[in-house]
Structure 1
C-alpha cells in the first residue's frame, strides 16, 4: 500500500469512527425528575414548596415552575426556582390558595448550552388540590384583634368624657 493510500485509509477510518467518538464524549443531556411538593396535602393557608432534581452534563442554567389555578385559561404564573448545583435540586414556592382550588404545574429547565427540557408529566401536568378554607385566616384574626383594641380604647375614652362632664360641684 502506498503512503498516499495509507493516508486516505486513515482519514476514512477517522470519518467512520468520529461519530462514535463524539457520541461517547458528549455530555449527558438535560433531565428533569418527577417533582415532589411539601406539604403533600396543602391547606388553604399553606405555601407549597416544589422540589425537583435537574441534571445536565454542561450544567444547569435555570429552572422555572409554570403553574395555573384556572386550568390554563387566564391565570398562568412563572416562578423562578433556586438551583443548588451541588445537590442538583431546584426549589420554588407556590403561594397559598386561600379560597382553595386546583393547582396545575410543570417544570422547564435550560442547560448552559441553551438546550431546553420540559417535564409536564407527558402532557397531563402535575396537580394538587387545595380544600376551601373556613374563611378565617391569619389576616382575618388580625383584623378582629385590631377591632377589639379600637373598641376598648373607644369605650375608655367615652367613660372618661362622661365622668368629666357629669361632675357635681362641691360646696
Structure 2
C-alpha cells in the first residue's frame, strides 16, 4: 500500500467483509467487538525512528478501530435483540467501545473525530433504547424439580406454543427435564 487512502479503503473493506461474513448481525457483533477494543502499545526504541514508528502504529491502530466501530454500528442497527436485557447489554457494550475511542480521539486532539464518535454513540444509544422499550424483560425462574418445557410453557405463559422458546431460553440439554434456576422472557 502506497497511500493512506489505500490503507483506509483496505481497512474499511476488511471490516465490512467481517460484518458480511455472518448472516446474523449478532455473530457479526461478536466477530467485530474484540477488534474495536484498544490494545496496549508495544514498546519501541526511544530514538526518533522508534518514536516515528510508534506514532505510525498508533495512527494505524486508531484507523482500524474506527472503521470497525463504524461496521459495529451498522451491525447493531441490523441486530434484533431477543429481550430488553439483551438490547440494554448490547447498547452498553457498543456505546462503551465508542466512548473509549471518543476519549482516545479527544486526547489526541482530534476534535472532529471525537465529535463524530460522540454523535454515533448517541445514535446507537437512542436506537437501541427505543427498540428495547418494546421488548420483554428476562426473568429468573426457580423450580424444585425438573419438569418438561411443555409444562413450564403452560405455567409461565399459558401458551403451549412457547415450549421451544422455554427450552431455548433455559438452555436445556433435554427439554423434558428443565429444573433448577433458569431464565425466560417475561410475559
TM-score category of the 2 structures, normalised to the smaller one: under 0.3
Q: Work out which structure has the larger RCO, using CA pairs closer than 8 Å and 6 or more positions apart in sequence.
A: 1
- Normalised by the length of structure 1, the TM-score is 0.27
Structure holding more helix per residue: 2
Structure holding more strand per residue: 1
- Normalised by the length of structure 2, the TM-score is 0.25
